[in-house]
Copies of this chain bind each other. A is one copy, B any other.
């Protein structure tokens, strides 16, 4: 119960922060702005920004330092969802129980809303760089570099996932998709929080391992939910992966083996951060939440 209420607190914090970045002015491009806002505020779990903040809090409390990066990563996540949902990729009509962007508006608007959100993430980063004191510039530039490279890996993973839809796939390529499509961004979140908080090199290493493991767990769980989840709870159709012949952990290993791998990976993730004790309680619970979530 404590975890759930803390999660909700974090989600509200992130939502409030996102609201600050939404452009409300009347202008020619008002609908374009609305379409970006529509997807950004459609009620996602905010897992990525929360990872940034919670990791930062392992070391420091002044979370305003990491908020621009929490916002930027949520923009990127929503850019990828909008484009992935489009008819030429996954062709999904619903997301978080609401119409997908191209269904609510139209395909051209969804295309440009996705482009706009990706680019707006970089606007946020550039503005933060402009407000940064000289002594912190180097670490912010490192984050900007890791940010852009993680997005490259995410798009590459999405490309391979799309390319191999309905085709036989090697174990190597399945792992490639999971590591890049979901894992790269989740790892980036944890690393951004840790680097912004000036953590030690060993901390960055163990937190990176934690992130890579929950990233993999997240993807395996997604595959399991897509096979046996509850449509109403998920807010999107179940069984699409199977119908489309999509390569997943479930299609590759079977449902039970996929669940066993998920448990093992979650345990390993938690081991990586056990040295932080009480302070890492939320991150531990978050790993278990990823394992046990039903949406």
A residues neighboring B (CB under 8 Å) = 28-29, 31-32, 79, 83, 86, 88-89, 106-109, 111-112, 114-116, 118-120, 122-123, 126-127, 129-130, 134, 137, 141-142, 144-145, 147-149, 151-152, 155-156, 158-160, 162-163, 173, 176
**How many angstroms between the C-alpha atoms of A112 and B89 in the bound complex?**
10
Minimum CB–CB distance from A128 to chain B (whole Å) comes to 10
Partner of A122, one of B28, B122, B137, B176: B122
CB pair A155 B119 closer than 8 Å: yes
Closest partner residue, chain B, to A120 (CB atom): B152
Closest partner residue, chain B, to A162 (CB atom): B108
CB pair A152 B123 closer than 8 Å: yes
Partner of A115, one of B29, B112, B155, B176: B155
Known: A108-B88, A119-B155. A148 touches B126 (CB 8 A): yes
Partner of A145, one of B116, B127, B142: B127
Minimum CB–CB distance from A175 to chain B (whole Å) comes to 10
**How many angstroms between the C-alpha atoms of A126 and B152 in the bound complex?**
13
CB pair B152 A119 closer than 8 Å: yes
Closest partner residue, chain B, to A145 (CB atom): B126
**How many angstroms between the C-alpha atoms of A56 and B256 in the bound complex?**
62
Minimum CB–CB distance from A223 to chain B (whole Å) comes to 19
CB pair B111 A86 closer than 8 Å: yes
A118: which B residues are within 8 A, CB to CB? 115, 118-119
A116: which B residues are within 8 A, CB to CB? 152, 155-156, 159
A158: which B residues are within 8 A, CB to CB? 112
A-B contact pairs, 23 of them (CB 8 A): A28-B176, A29-B156, A79-B115, A83-B111, A83-B112, A83-B115, A86-B111, A88-B107, A88-B108, A109-B162, A109-B163, A116-B152, A116-B156, A116-B159, A119-B151, A120-B152, A122-B148, A123-B145, A126-B141, A126-B144, A129-B141, A129-B144, A130-B142
Minimum CB–CB distance from A82 to chain B (whole Å) comes to 10
A144: which B residues are within 8 A, CB to CB? 122, 126, 129
Closest partner residue, chain B, to A110 (CB atom): B88
CB pair B129 A111 closer than 8 Å: no
A160: which B residues are within 8 A, CB to CB? 28-29, 32
**How many angstroms between the C-alpha atoms of A104 and B225 in the bound complex?**
35
